[in-house]
Amino acid sequence: MDINSPYFHPEFETLSRPEIEALQLDRLQKTVHHCMSNPFYRERFKQCGLHPEDIRTLDDLRRIPFTTKQDLRATYPFGMSAVPLEKCVRLHSSSGTTGNPTVILHTQADLDAWAEALARCLWMVGLRPGDVFQNSSGYGMFTGGLGFQYAAERLGMLTVPAAAGNTKRQIKFITDFGTTALHAIPSYAARLYEVMKAEGIDPRRDTKLRVLAIGAEPHSEEQRQRIEEMLGVKAYNSFGMSEMCGPGVAFECKEQNGMHIWEDYYIVEIVDPETLEPVPEGEIGELVLTTLRREAMPLLRYRTRDLTRILPGKCPCGREHKRLDRMKGRSDDMIILKGVNIFPIQIEQILLQFPQLRTDYLITLESAAENDTMLVEVELQELFTDDYGHLEKLTKEIQQRLRDEILVTPRVRLVPPGSLPRQEGKAVRVKDLRKKF
């Protein structure tokens, strides 16, 4: 392996658009044939009178019905498998953020392909053998654990499988082992910094950290910049989901402007979540993915419920694989308040423009006599007394800026640093206490 090459898989990363599309058609046709080994897809195709041979062009993909999370739940646990169970070597299950878990099966070839895809991402941002890679993800069913572990080993880095929690120990590993690269969910990266600060550790002076992979939960550009400033690193957005193996689906290159989605692994579509028709290029819609390299559990037109768009134009890095914009959130994250649609990320974006505020915030929705209300609680960087009415002024200003962005006026409460609840896993940003009828 040429460690000076910007590519981990030059043969795939340097493909032109026509070459990518030719490869995709070939792999799509094979995948569709392979799906016929699975009773669920066989029945689906029969119901709509479709035969694998009908898929002659990439556009024919649109003739295939969507696969949904409900389909995965209805066939729980092994009904989506396209190979005998004896050929599978591992299963993962989604963290169940939005309901019952789903099961994802893997053959050894699936695990190898997954590790290769994510190793490609880590290489793309300049990580090489000689780097020390620490993973602060849980190593259980959560794919961020084993996923990053195997990918970092594949690349040839020294890996520190620190796992989640125990922040002081995490920091000791970073300083003692000379960790240069870390994988963390964004809310945890901020937490690490808080604890370092409390321990008198300056990440720039006392650690060798230079690259962070951050993902698994929605976060704003402002949040990324905060993390970069706090830890003195470059932080790259990493996107994945259990149904697509896990991390490694899409990742930012050094340009930090959109995440390249590996189109030799996936066909990407963006559809209007209501009409299910494709949206014009560059517009936001629901991400739909078709797997091209999966053996145990191929998925056709899987509705991810994640909202994003494809960035138009070419990336200066030279890779022609399409770029996904930062995730806006899941369709189920959308708050509907007084008839207005709001995403938590819009609120985060505004809050983090105020240097007086930390990255921790909590949105609470409550029923009131007349109307539902929103309370936004956010932590102050430091506690100061309100002798001169500073806090009141700040609160008003935040409220105004939020109203301009989300079109409803929330109540805003500035709370002491460290007072909002912290999660072990993905951050919980919204508490909905409204009465459901």
- For binding to ligand ADP (CB under 6 A), which residues are involved? 94-97, 143, 215-218, 237-242, 304, 306, 327, 330
CB-facing half-sphere around the CA of 1: CA atoms within 13 A: 13
Q: By the 8 A CB rule, do 317 and 341 touch?
A: no
Helix, strand, coil percentages for the chain (3-state, nearest 5): 35, 25, 40
Which does residue 186 bind out of ligand ADP, Zn ion, none, counting CB within 5 to 8 angstroms by kind? none
Q: Which is nearer to ligand ADP, 143 or 167 (CB)?
A: 143
Residue 95 binds which one of Zn ion, ligand ADP, none, with CB within 5 to 8 A depending on kind?
Answer: ligand ADP
Nearer to ligand ADP, 122 or 132 (CB): 122
Min dist. Cβ of residue 215 to ligand ADP (A): 3
Q: What is the DSSP code (8-state) at residue 129?
A: B
Q: Do 156 and 116 touch, CB atoms closer than 8 A?
A: no
Tell me whether residue 115 or residue 185 sits nearer to ligand ADP (CB atom): 185
Cα(228)–Cα(193) distance, integer angstroms: 11
Beta carbons of 31 and 292 less than 8 angstroms apart = yes
User: What is the phi/psi pair of residue 97, to 5°?
Assistant: -55, -35
The alpha carbon of 303 is separated from its chain's Cα centroid by a whole number of angstroms, namely 15
Binding partner at 348 among ligand ADP, Zn ion, none, C-beta below 5 to 8 Å by kind: none
Among Zn ion, ligand ADP, none, what binds residue 315 when CB lies within 5 to 8 Å by partner kind? Zn ion
Residue 209 is given by DSSP the state -
Looking at 289, 315, 324, 412, which residue binds Zn ion (CB under 5 A)?
315
Q: Between 32 and 69, whose beta carbon lies closer to ligand ADP?
A: 69
Task: Pick the binder of Zn ion from 20, 141, 317, 408 (CB under 5 A).
Answer: 317
Give, for 390, the enclosing helix (H) or strand (E). Answer: helix 390-406
Q: Site size for Zn ion, by CB under 5 A?
A: 5
The H or E element containing residue 147 is: helix 143-155
Q: Among residues 253 and 300, whose Cβ is nearest to Zn ion?
A: 253
Record the tokens describing residue 250, joined without a space: 């899409």
Question: Cβ 35 to ligand ADP, closest distance in Å?
Answer: 21
Nearest distance, CB of residue 237 and ligand ADP, angstroms: 5
Geometric angle at alpha carbon 426, from 74 and 91, rounded to 5°: 40
CB of 213 to ligand ADP, least distance (A): 9
In whole angstroms, give the CA distance from residue 38 to residue 44. 10
Of 244 and 357, which has the nearer Cβ to ligand ADP?
244
Which backbone phi and psi does 273 adopt, to 5 degrees?
-65, -20
- Residue 311 as a binder of Zn ion (CB under 5 A): the answer is no
> Which range binds Zn ion by CB under 5 A, 98-106, 112-120, 164-172, 312-320?
312-320
- CB nearer to ligand ADP: give 203 or 215: 215
Contacted entry of Zn ion, ligand ADP, none for residue 327, CB cut-off 5 to 8 Å set by kind: ligand ADP
Contact 52, 36 (CB under 8 A): yes
The least CB distance from residue 238 to ligand ADP, in Å, is 6
Q: Which does 253 bind (CB under 5 to 8 A by kind): Zn ion, ligand ADP, none?
A: Zn ion
> Which option in ligand ADP, Zn ion, none does residue 136 bind, with CB closer than 5 to 8 A by kind?
none
Q: Is 222 exposed, middle or buried (0-12, 13-18, 19+ CB in 10 A)?
A: middle
Tell me whether residue 207 or residue 220 sits nearer to ligand ADP (CB atom): 220
The DSSP bridge pattern shows strands 247-252 and 234-240 to be antiparallel
Q: Strands 132-135, 158-160: parallel, antiparallel or unpaired by DSSP? A: parallel
Can you read off the two tokens belonging to residue 306?
Answer: 């994640």
CB of 261 to ligand ADP, least distance (A): 12
Cα–Cα distance between 425 and 108 in angstroms, integer? 27
Judged by beta carbon, residue 293 or residue 328, the one nearer ligand ADP is 328
Which residues within the stretch 239-278 sit at the binding site for Zn ion (CB under 5 A)?
253, 255
The residues of the shown chain that bind Zn ion, judged by CB under 5 A, are 253, 255, 315, 317, 319
